[in-house]
Amino acid sequence: MAEPMELQLLCWGGDWDLPSVHTDSLVVLAYAKFAGAKLAVKSVDWTWRTITASVPQLYYEGSTVTEPTQILNFLRKQSFNADYELTAKQGADTMAYIALLEEKLLPALLHTFWVDAENYANLTRPWFTSHSPFPLNFFVPGRQASLALSRILLTKAESPLLNITEVEGKIYSEAKECLNLLSHRLGNFRFFFGDTPTSLDAFVFGHIAPLIKAPLPSGQLQKHLNQLDNLCQFCNTILKNYFTDATTEKRLDCSPTATHDPVDANLQKLTQLVNKESNLIEKMDDNLRSSPQHRPHRHEAKPSAMASERSST
C-alpha cells in the first residue's frame, strides 16, 4: 500500500458495544471503515478538549476539518470514496435521506438522551460526567443538554412562546414515522444501496446505533426501533463486520454469514469432532473389510454417508 496516512480523528469514547457514543463521531468512524481509510482515533474523554473542541475533528497534515459532512467531503477528496459506485440519482437520494434524518429523527434523539429527565439523570449525565476531567465534569453535560434543548425549541417550537411540552408529542411521532420510512426503504437488503455500504449507511448507523445499544431507562423511541427488525439487523451487521477487533475481523471478512458467528463456531467444532470420528471408523472399517465375511456394498454406503454429513454442516 502507499505510505501511511496521518489522519487523526478526535471523538468521544465508546461504550455499550459501540466504538463511540456520540452520533457524529460514529458517522465518521463508520464511513472511514467503509471507505477503507485508516484513522488514528484519539478520544477526547478525560481531556480538556471535552469542552474546547468541537467533536468530531479530523487532523491531516496541519489542516483541521469539523462537522461530519465536511469530514466526509474531505475524505472523498483524499480518494477514500465509499460512494464511488452510486448513480447520480442514488447520490441525490443520499442527500434527501440525510436531510430527513436531520429534520425528523435528530430532534427526538436529542430529546431522548439530553432532555428527557429520567434518561438524562440516570444515563447520559453520569456517563459524560465520568468521562470528563475535573472540574469540567460539572459543566460538560449541562452545556450539551442546554444546546440540545435550544436546538429542539428553536427548530420545532412556535416562537416566541417556546415550550418543550407542546413539541414533545410532535417530535416523537415524527421520529417514529421517520424510522418506519427508513425501514420501508431498507426492506430486505443488507445496506441501503445494495451490498456495499455507503455514506448514507454511515449516517443512518450513526443515528440509530446509540438508540439501539444504550441502556435507556425510559425509551419509547427505543421500543419502537426494536420492533423494526431490519434496522436492528442492519446495525448489528455493521458492528459485527466492521467494528470487531482484528483477530475476529479476518475471519469475518470472507464469510457473508458473519452474523451467525457463535453458532457457526460451535458447528465447526462439532464438524471437526465428527470428521475425526469418521476417520477412525474408516480405519477400523478398512481392517474389517479385509476380513472375508463382510459384504462389499457397506464400503460404498459409508463414504456417501460421511460426504452428506460434511455437506450438511
Partner 1 sequence: MSLAAEAFVSQIAAAEPWPENATLYQPLKEDQILLSDSASSLAVQTFLRMCGLPVLVSCRANAEYMSPSGKVPFIHVGNQVVSELGPIVQFTKAKGHALSDGLDDVQRAEMKAYMELVNNMLLTAELYIQWCDDYTATEISRPRYSNPYSWPLNHVLAYQKQWEIRRKMNAIGWSGKNLEQVYEDVSQCCQALSQRLGTQPYFFNKQPTELDALVFGHLFTILTTQLTSDELAEKVKSYSNLLSFCHRIEQTYFKEHEREGQFGSSRHSKSSLP
CA contacts within 13 A on the Cβ side of 150: 6
Task: Note whether 266 binds partner 1 by CB under 8 A.
Answer: no
Shortest CB 103 distance to partner 1, Å: 5
Task: Note whether 95 binds partner 1 by CB under 8 A.
Answer: yes
DSSP type of residue 126: H
Element (H, E) at 64: strand 63-66
Q: How many CB atoms lie within 10 A of CB 22?
A: 22
Separation of alpha carbons 200 and 93, rounded Å: 9
Choose which of 64, 78, 163, 173 interacts with partner 1 (CB under 8 A).
173
Helix, strand, or coil (residue 216): coil
Spatial contact of 213 and 165, defined as CB atoms under 8 Å apart: no
- Residue type for position 149: L
Task: Note whether 154 binds partner 1 by CB under 8 A.
Answer: yes
Considering only CA atoms, which of 215, 259, 263 is closest in space to residue 239?
259
Shortest CB 17 distance to partner 1, Å: 28
Task: Note whether 85 binds partner 1 by CB under 8 A.
Answer: no
Shortest CB 151 distance to partner 1, Å: 4
Task: Note whether 166 binds partner 1 by CB under 8 A.
Answer: yes
Task: Note whether 257 binds partner 1 by CB under 8 A.
Answer: no
Angle between helices 261-289 and 297-312 (to 10 degrees): 170
Spatial contact of 313 and 270, defined as CB atoms under 8 Å apart: yes
Count of residues engaged in binding partner 1, rule: CB under 8 A: 32
Site string for partner 1, 40-79 (x = CB under 8 A): ---------------------------x------------
Task: Note whether 256 binds partner 1 by CB under 8 A.
Answer: no
| Positions in the binding site for partner 1 (CB under 8 A) | 67, 88-89, 91-93, 95-97, 99-100, 102-104, 147, 150-151, 154-155, 158-160, 166, 169-170, 173, 177, 181-182, 184-185, 187
